[in-house]
């Protein structure tokens, strides 16, 4: 494969594992990791790394030219909970980084672009069960507004300038290697760390709050898959619904209890409850399954087994 890939936001929850996987597939020297902060020793050891502020279009162009980059994965973003605290900063970061890469593609500096959207692009008036690909979208969070607007920009650049941009509406992503920061679905990651540390967890969402979720391995597989399929298989240039499982805090606690019987869950909701309540509970991803043969591998039970096993080995 002759692609040279730039990952922006390579030190984040998804970026870390995406970098690792892409280096395995495309070769270490063909995958340039970048972030506003220095990468881990492993990231620096396995391939090129550049310090890059995702809003700095000039520096981005310099790096793209330096390595003759053909594909960009833009993983830098401010997530939902933090964005509610810094609305203007979130909008500036999420939108200016996206527009900078879209312009690189429009000006033919790169051939292909991956940008993630989210279930947060839906809002309180969207159907909550089997949320369709196309439906009412009135997000009530700044993060959601930035994702919905971003989707429309992607579609616009595709229609007007032929930009090959591909996107997925991620559900909450659960992983053990790198923790997420500032998201509403982060509880479903923290719970595993706390379960092993002290067999208890205080959850900031209520016990019945059902949200769409996905294990990291599936998210990485989907991300690389959508970038690798032929352009003729991509019929949606806003962003694809993507699903694997949906569960409540009570259900994930139950799954953990079957491995750690002493595990105790308590609940103390905060401002993130309102964010979660505005999002879908179960997503209909039939289009992704049909257009590019998406299929998930992990359900709640398999994920719980794998999370606990890896976290135990890590500690």
Binding site for ligand SER (CB under 6 A): 79-80, 118, 120, 143, 170, 172, 183-185
Residues, the chain:
315
- Distance (Å, rounded) from C-alpha 125 to C-alpha 135? 9
Q: How far is the CB of 4 from ligand SER (least distance, A)?
A: 28
Cα separations in angstroms, 203 against 120, 144, 256, 273, 307: 20, 23, 14, 10, 18
Distance CA 118, CA 94 (A): 12
Toward ligand SER, which CB reaches closer, 55 or 121?
121
For ligand SER, the closer of residues 118 and 175 by Cβ is 118
Give catalytic status of residue 143 as yes or no.
Answer: yes
**130: alpha, beta or left, given left = phi > 0 and alpha = psi -120 to 50?**
left
Q: Please, what is the minimum distance in Å from the beta carbon of residue 310 to ligand SER? A: 20
> Measured from the CB of residue 257, what is the shortest distance to ligand SER in angstroms?
24
Calpha distance 120→33 (Å, rounded): 26
Which residue number, 30 or 278, has a Cβ lying nearer to ligand SER? 278
Burial class (CB in 10 A: 0-12, 13-18, 19+), 231: exposed
Tell me the CA distances in angstroms from 154 to 9, 90, 103, 117, one per residue in order: 19, 18, 11, 10
The one catalytic residue in 143, 170, 192, 240 is: 143
Beta carbon nearer to ligand SER, 39 or 183: 183
In angstroms, give the least distance from the CB of 190 to ligand SER: 12
82 contacts 181 by C-beta, under 8 angstroms: yes
Q: Which positions are catalytic?
A: 143
């Amino acid at each position: 494969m002759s692609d040279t890939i730039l990952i922006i936001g390579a030190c984040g929850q998804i970026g870390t594992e995406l970098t690792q996987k892409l280096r395995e597939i495309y070769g270490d020297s063909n995958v340039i990791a970048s972030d506003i902060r220095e990468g881990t020793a492993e990231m620096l050891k396995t391939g090129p790394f550049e310090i890059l502020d995702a809003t700095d279009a000039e520096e981005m162009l310099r790096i793209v030219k330096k390595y003759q980059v053909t594909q960009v994965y833009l993983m830098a973003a401010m997530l939902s909970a933090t964005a509610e605290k810094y609305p203007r900063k979130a909008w500036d970061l999420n939108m200016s980084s996206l527009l900078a890469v879209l312009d690189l593609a429009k000006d033919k500096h790169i051939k292909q672009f991956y940008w993630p959207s989210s279930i947060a692009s839906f809002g309180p008036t969207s159907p909550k069960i089997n949320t369709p690909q196309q439906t009412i979208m009135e997000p009530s969070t700044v993060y959601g507004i930035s994702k919905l607007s971003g989707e429309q920009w992607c579609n616009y650049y595709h229609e007007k300038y032929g930009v090959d941009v591909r996107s997925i509406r991620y559900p909450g992503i659960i992983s053990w290697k790198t923790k997420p920061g500032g998201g509403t679905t982060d509880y479903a990651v923290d719970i595993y760390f706390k379960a092993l540390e002290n067999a208890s967890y205080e959850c900031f969402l209520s016990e019945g709050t059902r949200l769409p979720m996905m294990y990291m391995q599936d998210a990485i597989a989907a991300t690389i898959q959508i970038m690798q399929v032929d352009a003729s298989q991509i019929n949606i240039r806003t962003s694809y619904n993507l699903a694997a499982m949906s569960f409540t805090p009570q259900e994930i606690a139950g799954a953990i209890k079957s491995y750690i019987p002493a595990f105790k869950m308590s609940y103390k909701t905060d401002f993130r409850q309102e964010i979660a309540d505005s999002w879908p509970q179960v997503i209909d991803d039939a289009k992704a399954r049909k257009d590019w043969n998406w299929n998930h591998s992990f359900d709640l039970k398999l994920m719980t087994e794998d999370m606990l096993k890896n976290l135990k080995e890590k500690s």
